[in-house]
Homo-oligomer: A and B are copies of this chain.
Amino acid sequence: MKEQEFLTELKEMDMLQQALAILEWDAQTGMPAEASNARAEVSSYLYGKYFSKKIGPKMSEAIEYFSQHPEKLSEVGKAALTLVKEEYEREQAVPNELMVEYSKATANAHHAWQKARQAKDFSLFYDALKNNIRLTKELISYWKKDEQTGYDVLLNIYEPNMTTETLDDVFSTVRDGIMAIYQKIENYGIKPRTDFLHRKVAKEQQQKFVTKVVEDLGFDLSRGRIDDTIHPFATGINHQDVRLTNRWNETDFSMGIFGLIHEAGHGVYEQNIAEKFEYTPVHEGASMGIHESQSLFNELVIASRKSFWQKQYPFLQECVDGTFADISFTDFYASLQQTQASLIRIEADSLTYILHIIIRYEIEKMIFNEEVKVEDLPQLWNDKYEKYLGVRPANDLEGILQDVHWSAAEFGYFPSYALGYMYACQLYYAMKKELDVDQILKSDDYSAIQKWLSQNIHQYGASKKPNQLIYDASGEALNPQYLLDYLQEIYFAVYQISE
């Protein structure tokens, strides 16, 4: 077999994925309401074409041949082979009937979850969740390699090479550290004023401001676009076409502004993967955690820094026509960093968000490594919220029913969010050794920041594993202390706490 044949097969798979990505983008951004069934049929037909290639005879032949003759592959071919082989082996390991049962189970579970939410009653979701867990455990038995725990297997779907052992360590440090920061703020902090955050800012005013900001941060609109959706996302259709979506709220402008800055981090990543990887699975992010690190670098590092807002606040004031004319810079900046423990993950601030993730991690690990009973989960959930965040859900909707993930059997996904926070801060401290980040943020030219990220992270796409990327970029393995240092710096300053 020639490498070209292998690459052509990958390209055809990639083109099917591009079509699917456009169909999905369209379904989210503006497809007529009545068209969803017909669209589902088209997408499922094209996905079938893609999947039958992914596990088809040509792929199997290529994997077998090039695993024995790696010298016949270019750098790109080699990187692609590694990824393709991992996926192929995972797909091949599982009996087809199990996958069919799994598909049906998750579809049913989604309906059960929706019903349970309406009734705010976990018992209506109980059977479906139990079934999702049972089937996931069965899948684990096919996927498991020697020393892995069950939960390691799930983690690795989203974050290759990550282990429960590492996360236990890291998360206990982070959990205690954040709780300590939060306690100090609660006890000694001076709360910032936040009333003016709900003043009306027209969508067009927000767009004017944030579009300029994301372009400054490196998002290239000649190879991308920005649309409206209910749930914001970023999607890399191909090297020349990366799309962000955003939701605007005229009485809560910070949502739309931080939202788009966040998505732009994903977008700039996709736009700066080396073009040589195009049309292969290497032209993707390295993992969910690394992808999230790029969006959070924008949101948490850049857009939470005083230096950034020193530069941008005057421009924001220009865009909003005097809406904040009476608000001093100090008050404005402080208002953006308010923290308040709460029940709902997706509404949480940057400091407390990670505790929501750690709660889910601890529970998921118990489910897959320690055989906790499903009926005990709501109580477990509520107890942990009370212990870590000091708040207790009044019902299951505010508690265990809030996330869609378990209904889709996406166990092992949640830690990616927290990894993203830690990676982002670790990258920031590495960057600071080479760049005066605050000086750059006060200037008209942010390009050095994007260049550093592209050089150290973006360009590699999925050709390096996450742990390798982080090690190469920062000179050390994942270290949660950077996150704690960063959060402490930002929040203590705003809450006027001297260390």
Instruction: Please give the residue numbers on chain A whose beta carbons come within 8 Å of chain B beta carbons, in ascending order.
Output: 12, 15, 18-19, 22-23, 26, 30-35, 37-39, 41-42, 45-46, 49, 221-225, 237-242
Contacts and interface: CB of A to CB of B under 8 A. Distances in A.
A33 B238 contact: no
B30 A225 contact: yes
A8 to B, nearest CB: 11
A241 B239 CA distance: 29
B39 A241 contact: yes
A62 to B, nearest CB: 19
Nearest to A242: B32
Contacts of A31: 225, 241
Contacts of A22: 22-23, 26
Query: So how many copies of this chain end up in the complex?
Result: 2
A129 to B, nearest CB: 33
Nearest to A238: B38
A37 B241 CA distance: 11
Contacts of A34: 222-223, 240-241
A222 B30 CA distance: 11
A33 B239 contact: no
A32 B227 CA distance: 12
A45 B241 contact: no
Contact of A32 (B19, B41, B241): B241
A12 B223 contact: no
Contacts of A241: 31-32, 34-35, 38-39
Contact of A46 (B19, B26, B224): B19
Given A19-B42, A45-B15, A32 B239 contact: no
A15 B42 contact: yes
